[in-house]
Each structure stands twice: as structure tokens, then as C-alpha cells.
Amino acid sequence: MSEDLAALESLLGYRFARRELLATALRHRSSVLDPGENNETLEFLGDAVIQLVVSERLFRAWPQADEGSLSRRRAALVNARSLAEKAVQLGLGDLLMLGRGEEKTGGRGKRSILAGAFEAVMGAIFLDGGFASAHDTCERIFAGDV
């Protein structure tokens, strides 16, 4: 698993000082009994980071655009489908820790689980390296989309 996490860090362009945060980001709630040991709170945090970084990027790209236009563009970039695609590009599905039920029902390919894992990874980067690290990583990942 350590080699897999190192490969993920390489794809992200970010090396964790506290790799346990990355491991938690990949731990779906179905795989643990204790709610504090899964990726849901990191998912919450990562969602906010992604929204902010993409919003800033759109604002810089279209400084004269109105709020509605920018909101529609952000919604097109930050949604379950697009975040799941980012997760697939990073190979997160193969790294997820899932419970037996999710494993049996194809959880590794479920859009909501993949999107949540991507958000959790961004939240983990934020906690590990601060906003600048999360910003830079998110910018790289979304660079071709804006």
C-alpha cells in the first residue's frame, strides 16, 4: 500500500508529511465502525477547498463575467461527475478502503464514492500542507478545464 500511496503522491504532485491523512482520505465509511476514522470530514473540507480554488480561477479567467455566469461555470467543473473523473484519473478507486457491502456492489466505480474520495484527498492536502499546497495541487488538476 505504501508504494501505491507514493504513486498517488507523484500523480498529485504533492508529498504528504503526514501520510496517515492520505490513508484516512481513502477510507470510506463502509470500512470502519468509528465515524471519526473515515473520510467524510475530509470530504467536507476538501469540497470547500475545491470550490474556492475553482472559483478564484474562474474569476481570474473571466474578471468581467457576472456572478450567475461564474456560478454556472463552476457548477459545470465541480460536480459529482467531474470530480469522479478526476478520481479515476488519479486511480483512487483502486486505493479505496471499502466495506464488504460496497465492495460487492461495485463501490470502487460509484460516482459518489469516487467524488467524495477526491474531495477528501484535497482536504487531506489542505490539513497536511496548508492552503497554498491544496491550492497548487487543485490548480494543476483543474488547469486544463478552465
Q: How far is CA 36 from CA 25, 42, 101, 126, in A?
A: 12, 10, 20, 18
Q: What is the mean pLDDT of residues 115-135?
A: 98
Ramachandran area for residue 78 (φ above 0: left; ψ -120 to 50: alpha; else beta)? beta
Under the banding of pLDDT at 50, 70 and 90, the label for residue 144 is: confident
Say yes or no to pLDDT of 1 above 70. Answer: no
Q: Supply the residues annotated as catalytic.
A: 47, 119
Q: What is the mean pLDDT of residues 83-110?
A: 94
pLDDT, tens digit (0-9, with 9 covering 90-100), for 4-46:
899 999 999 999 999 999 999 999 999 987 767 899 999 999 9
- Nearest Cα neighbor of 92 from 120, 50, 130, 67 is 120
pLDDT, tens digit (0-9, with 9 covering 90-100), for 56-91:
999 999 999 999 999 999 999 999 999 999 999 999
pTM score of the predicted model: 0.94
